[in-house]
Structure 1
Amino acid sequence: MRTDRLTLRPVVPDDAEAFLAWRSRPDVVRYMYLPAWDPATAVLKLRTWSNAPFDQPGDVLVLAVVLGGDVVGETLLKWAAGPRQVEVGYALHPDVSGQGLATEAAGATLRLAFDTYGFHRVFARIDEENTASVHVAERLGMRHEARLVENDLRDGVWSTEVVYGILDREYPGRA
């Protein structure tokens, strides 16, 4: 799938090194509630994701975000337990931040969720301190639906999560 500046495509095992460039950075993964990756983890994850199905609750579709031939980020759809609902996620290398690329990539991923897969509701779970991701959700027209106070641990400290959501009929980028 293409946008004005980006290509989004399914990940392949050869993307491991590119993903490691941001997934190994503590400043990036701190809001993912995951440890930073090492090279072995990158190889394993990309091999797993590249062969993963996306046809039932619990499945995850990970897409590489490509800018000018370079993989600079990722988006994902995680099929939720609720009927026709999916979680969206996004992360880009900090070197390309501030250019609107996260909004562009996440917007394309919403179109994929609604137009290709026929989901009714897309939501994002975001650490409240991750204001950049909150702004992306807001720019996409997602509504603030919930604030879950101290519902998760990040580095041994309780953190608050906010939930943003949008319905298929509300998404302005819908075909």
Structure 2
Amino acid sequence: MPSSLPVPRPAVPGPAAPEWPLVTDRLRLRPVAPADAEAFLRWRSRTEVVRFMYQPPWDLPTAQAKLSTWSTAPFEEVGDVLVLAIEADGDVVGEAMLKWAAGARQAELGYALHPDVSGRGLATEAARATLELAFATYGFHRVYARIDEENVASVRVAERLGMRLEAHLLENDQRDGVWSNEVVYALLDREHAELA
């Protein structure tokens, strides 16, 4: 069912605004709604998931506040974030994110799924749809993903998407009070077109 939420306007010249939901073989992606708070809490409250997001586990008030903010946030300029709910078989099982990054026509890609649905290729499928949205609809030139190097599952997703390893940053952030390393994977619009 199409979302009744406001549809983000294209951030840069390109085709018309997205028609929600985005549909893949097994998934539906749509802008988040406040009613998604309890679903997001199912993975955002888990230490093993949020440790790679460099933040503490959520509680229900945090989930409600975040989803309320994200559901009405614009996607029009640098710093704006578009958060999508990932649905499989009618249940919200994960999230995908595009953040309009500083620099000429660049965006950051993020994704997280509930551990119960991991290992089925759903993260790759959702991220691929989000990349298509970034390039074909919003007209970004470069999309990158910043990943903790110990998050092997996310690194594999980036590689399956055809993203290229651009950087290996040493001790650039702290996770649980310990310095951690990060890898940066990226894809240009022309590279994305060649993969299609």
The answer, yes or no, to whether TM exceeds 0.5 is yes
- Paired residue total: 175
Contact 2:172 2:179 in 1 (8 A): yes
Deviations 1:130-155 (A, max 9, x none): 00000000000000000000000001
Question: How many angstroms does 1:173 deviate by?
Answer: 7.7
The DSSP-based 3-state class of the residue aligned with 1:103 is helix
Query: Within 2, Cα distance between the matches of 1:172 and 1:133?
Result: 22
Aligned residue for 2:10? none
The 5-angstrom pairing of residues 14-29 of structure 1 reads 14-29=35-50
TM-score normalised over the length of structure 1: 0.98
TM-score normalised over the length of structure 2: 0.88
Aligned residue for 2:130? 109
The DSSP-based 3-state class of the residue aligned with 2:51 is helix
Runs (4+) off by over 3 Å: 172-175
Query: Within 2, Cα distance between the matches of 1:66 and 1:173?
Result: 28
Deviations 1:105-137 (A, max 9, x none): 000000000000000000000000000000000
Aligned residue for 2:178? 157
Deviations 1:48-81 (A, max 9, x none): 0000000000000000000011000000000000
The 5-angstrom pairing of residues 19-58 of structure 1 reads 19-58=40-79
The DSSP-based 3-state class of the residue aligned with 1:171 is helix
Query: Within 2, Cα distance between the matches of 1:117 and 1:93?
Result: 27
Q: What runs of 5+ residues in structure 1 fail to find an aligned partner?
A: none
Query: Within 2, Cα distance between the matches of 1:43 and 1:75?
Result: 18
Question: How many angstroms does 1:171 deviate by?
Answer: 1.1
The DSSP-based 3-state class of the residue aligned with 2:23 is coil
The 5-angstrom pairing of residues 61-76 of structure 1 reads 61-76=82-97
Query: Within 1, Cα distance between the matches of 2:119 and 2:48?
Result: 15
Contact 2:111 2:123 in 1 (8 A): yes
Structure 2 counterpart of 1:97, from 108, 111, 118: 118
Query: Within 2, Cα distance between the matches of 1:131 and 1:39?
Result: 28
Q: What is the letter of the counterpart of residue 50 of structure 1?
A: S
Q: What runs of 5+ residues in structure 2 fail to find an aligned partner?
A: 1-21
